[in-house]
Amino acid sequence: MTFFDSEDALQTSLNAFLEEHREHLGLVSPDIPLISNLPVWSNIALIRQYHENMPWEEAKALAVELLERFGMAKIVEQRSHSLNKEELFCVMLMRAAMVREAVVVLDRPFRILSNLPEGCFLTDAFHKVDDLIAEAHIFDYNWEKGRYGATDCAKD
């Protein structure tokens, strides 16, 4: 986790980090939305289908398996506009985890999960895909520190 005092400082550091890890980057950010005309499974599967030419049946099975880990199998065919904030975040995380040896970056996750008081949800979500990701980084503001340190689960 890296915290910053200002948006400029965060953005500069984040951009440099993204550029450095471009090859394996899995960015989770409201600035990188889901593709609105694709169902949830396709948003997740797209990365493997494009980069590895994975057949769509196999890619869909992988996406469904990931959604089941999060107990979200019912949203498999839904579009992004019908998802709630938690579902949206989890789908974005699953999509990021689809990158091979993913360096997952959460860019100010509470901009998506604005309704959550603390970061326990984030650590739980990370644990569900930790077999797929190589590194995880969080970029946020200093004044959000409390939301990450407020509970024991943040130590994970």
Partner 1 sequence: MISVMIAAIGNIGRAAMLGTSSLRGTLAFAVRVFLNFFDRRTYNSASLMVFIHQLYFTSVQILPLFLFVAVIFGFLINGMAFNAVKNMDYLGRLLMGFVVTELSPFITVLLIALRSSSAINTEIAVMKVNREMSTLNSFRIDLIHYLFIPRILNGVFSMVLLTSLFALVVLSTGLLVSSLVFGTSVDTYVDTLLRSTDVLDIVILLIKCATFGFFITLIPIRIGLSASEELTSIPISVLNGMVKVFVAIVTIEVLSSIIRFI
Binding site for partner 1 (CB under 8 A): 18, 22-23, 25-27, 31-37, 42, 46-47, 49-51, 53-56, 59, 95, 99
CB of 100 or CB of 127, closer to partner 1: 100
CB of 55 or CB of 117, closer to partner 1: 55
Smallest gap, in angstroms, from Cβ of residue 81 to partner 1? 10
DSSP output for the chain: -EEESSHHHHHHHHHHHHHHTGGGEEEE-TTSPPPTTS-HHHHHHHHHHHHH---HHHHHHHHHHHHHHTT-GGGTT--GGG--HHHHHHHHHHHHHTSTTEEEEEESGGGTSTT-SSTHHHHHHHHHTTTTEEEEEEEEEGGGHHHHHSSGGGG-
Smallest gap, in angstroms, from Cβ of residue 150 to partner 1? 30
CB of 50 or CB of 143, closer to partner 1: 50
